[in-house]
Structure 1
Amino acid sequence: MGIEGVNSRIANIQSRILALQGQQATTTTGPAAARGGAAPAQGSFASQLRSAVAANQGADKSYKLNSKGIPEDLVAYGNGKIPAEALGQVGDTNHKLWAPAAQSLTRMIDDAKRDGVKIGITDSYRPYEEQVDLARRKGLYSQGGLAAKPGTSEHGWGMATDLDLNSDALSWMRKNGKNYGYVENVPRESWHWAYRPPS
């Protein structure tokens, strides 16, 4: 990584620290403090710093992709067979994706929240067995259903998420998603967003 990458990470962490300091100042001088009560905590400095560092890990990394855009290290595992150590948790949810995709989605959700936009998650990594069950319940795309053929789903690579989006959130995603590597790539599913790692 070049010096520009290091400087960019430092600047990002510094901006998050300043934002946290601003929140703490509001907490200690805001209306609740004036009444003698405590304002709600916005998270400790340490947790904010950890979040900022985690969000920037791998930000400058690029991946060797196969002809379908899948990182070669994931291809070695197989669709729907990604091991737990290659997955990352998305924020404080129970959802998991391939670790770089999870980090990017976590950062995107946090940034949207700062813009006053709520982005929820309804689905994420889908093991092979779940893909089989979904295809049975919802039918295959090729037959007018909503499921990819088991073993071919972007969810099975841990590189796609289904989001809970109201109209404001969908508009925000269409404007900003690409900045986090996420693209809307299924025409009849505005909730389905796929991660495209840098190559």
Structure 2
Amino acid sequence: MPDGLTVFDDEAAALANLDRALLDALRRAATDAAGDGVEFIVNSGWRSPEYQDELLREAISEYGSEEEAARWVATAATSPHVSGEAVDIGDFDATLWLSEHGAGYGLCQIYDNEPWHYELRPATVELGCPVPYTDPTDDPRMQQ
């Protein structure tokens, strides 16, 4: 991923391969956040299965076990990044803005330990975001 990638940079595969509804919600939120002086920088979006596997191998090496690595990195088979359904937003101001306003766009923080990781939950526009999982090991989608 190039540094400084915004949600409006269509040429990057990390954005071009995101779920269209997620990208649209991100762009609406980013447009409104810009009015508050906040820019959304994308640290990670869509990932190829090969890249996800590489990230998992690196996490296992860093954390010393598959169990500990699973708190931070999903397998290619379970990662919402691989399916284009997750985005990692950089910079504290952007994640703070999303934590306060994201539900209005259907954008929710999914994991307590990853304040940068957002996924689309359209029902949250009316209901608010669900309580985040502690980390990915608590997410039933990761239990495949």
TM-score, normalised on structure 1? Answer: 0.50
Superposed CA offset, 1:15-43 (max 9, x none): xxxxxxxxxxxxxxxxxxxxxxxxxxxxx
What's the counterpart of residue 169 of structure 1?
94
Look up the equivalent residue of 1:156 and give its one-letter code.
V
d(CA) in 1 for partners of 2:122, 2:82: 16
The 5-angstrom pairing of residues 82-101 of structure 1 reads 90-92=7-9, 94=12, 95-96=14-15, 97-101=18-22
Q: Which amino acid aligns with 1:133?
A: E
**Structure 2 counterpart of 1:92, one-letter code:** D
Distance 1:197 1:130, change over 3 A: farther
Report which of the two structures shows the higher radius of gyration computed on alpha carbons: 1
Identity fraction in percent: 30
1:190 and 1:142 map into 2 onto residues whose CA distance is: 22
Relative distance call for 1:180 and 1:112 in structure 2 (3 A) is same
Aligned match of 1:195 in 120, 124, 131? 120
Distance change in 2, residues 1:118/1:144 (3 Å): same
Structure 1, unpaired ranges of 5+:
1-88
Within 5 A, what are the aligned runs for 1:23-172?
90-92=7-9, 94=12, 95-96=14-15, 97-139=18-60, 143-145=67-69, 146-166=72-92, 168-172=93-97
The alpha-carbon deviation at position 142 of structure 1 amounts to 5.5
**Structure 1: which amino acid aligns with 2:104?**
N
User: SS state of the match for residue 82, structure 2?
Assistant: helix
Q: Which has the higher helix share?
A: 1
The 1-side partners of 2:90 and 2:118 are apart by: 11
Correspondence 1:178 to 2:99? no
Task: Give the number of equivalent residue pairs.
Answer: 110
**Alpha-carbon shift at residue 127 of structure 1 (Å):** 1.8
Q: Which has the higher contact order (CA 8 A, sep 6+)?
A: 2
Question: What RMSD over aligned residues (CA atoms) do the two structures have, in Å?
Answer: 2.4
